[in-house]
Amino acid sequence: MSTQPTRFQETVIAPSILSANFARLGEEVDNVLAAGADWVHFDVMDNHYVPNLTIGPLVCEALRKHGVTAPIDVHLMVEPVDGLIPMFADAGASHISFHPEASKHVHRSVQLIKSKGCQAGLVFNPASSLDVLDTMLDEIDYVLLMSVNPGFGGQSFIPSALKQLRKVRAMIDASGRPIRLEIDGGVKPDNIGEIAKAGADTFVAGSAIFGKPDYAAVIAQMKQAVSAGRG
């Protein structure tokens, strides 16, 4: 097994449309991508696995028809997951992740995502065990760590997520594979540098971007802080 570090892939900023103005969503996504965002992040909640209800595949399809060509990163906070995977893939998702405990057969769900031509990721809540990565790390393209409890936007970053980031970063480095390490929850310009130092390379941010008048300034500040955090 290679021990060559795979960290410090190109930084990805993935604004969560959960915090966007849905009355003009196409324009909001156009603006945030023009401002330097790299991916578009979808927080899909079912009022079952988490206590909130958000968006479905039709929104993804609508953005593709609107002309969005950037990667669409779909985070499924739903249970079960297998029914929605092909629906989002067919609607234009490029990345699909899910929580292992929401699938009866994690490997099969990952293979379903891949069979649809999408990148596959696993998501872990702040208090979740990482044990499934012992068998699944070689099967996935990215790991998404939650730094808030899933279900609502605008929450504060949970500091213990830094410890989880370091653990997963060490596992990824040991694998020798170019697996992305994504973080979601309470990411802001004033903490993203420390988060990057702990090993993340892909950053989801909602209200920290969409809640500000100048998207480009916030995204530039974030990317500069990531570079500084990496040293």
For residue 11, what pLDDT is reported?
A: 96
* Mean pLDDT computed over every residue of the chain: 93
Please tell me the distance from the alpha carbon of residue 222 to that of residue 36, in angstroms, as a whole number. Answer: 11
């044990």: which residue's tokens? Answer: 131
Q: How confident is the model at residue 216 (pLDDT cuts 50, 70, 90)?
A: very high
Tens digit of each residue's pLDDT (9 = 90 or more) over 58-68: 999 999 999 99
pLDDT at position 2 is: 38
Structural Rg of the chain based on CA atoms? 16
pLDDT of 171-180, one tens digit each?
999 999 999 9
Structural domains in the chain, CATH included, are: 12-230 (3.20.20.70)
Q: Is 41 annotated as a binding residue?
A: yes
The candidate with the shortest Cα–Cα distance to 174, out of 137, 201, 202, is: 137
Q: Confirm or deny that 211 is annotated as ligand binding.
A: no
Say how far apart CA 91 and CA 155 lie, in whole Å: 29
Ligand-binding site membership of 206 (annotated): yes
Candidates 8, 2, 4, 3; CA nearest to 199 is 8
* 36 annotated as a binding-site residue: no
pLDDT given at position 156: 81
Of 7-11, 106-110, 216-220, minimum mean pLDDT range? 7-11
Q: HSE (CB half, 13 Å, CA atoms) of 1?
A: 12
CA-nearest of 107, 51, 60 to 79 is: 51
pLDDT at 5 exceeding the cut of 50:
no
Q: Give the whole-angstrom CA distance, residue 207 versus residue 43.
A: 13
The dihedral through the CA atoms of 107, 202, 27, 21 has a sign that is positive
**Regarding beta strands 142-146 and 180-184, do their DSSP bridges make them parallel or antiparallel, or are they unpaired?**
parallel
Tokens of 67: 């002309």
pLDDT bin (cut points 50, 70, 90) of residue 1 is: very low
Active site residues: 43, 184
Among candidates 149, 148, 165, which has minimal Cα distance to 157? 148
Residue found under tokens 């769900």: 109
Q: Is 231 annotated as a binding residue?
A: no
Q: Which residues contact 8 (CB under 8 A, 6 or more apart)?
A: 201, 230
Q: Distance of CA 167 to CAs 26, 129, 184, Å?
A: 37, 11, 16
Question: Is pLDDT larger for residue 210 or for residue 153?
Answer: 210
Task: Give the least confident one: 99-103, 137-141, 165-169, 207-211.
Answer: 207-211
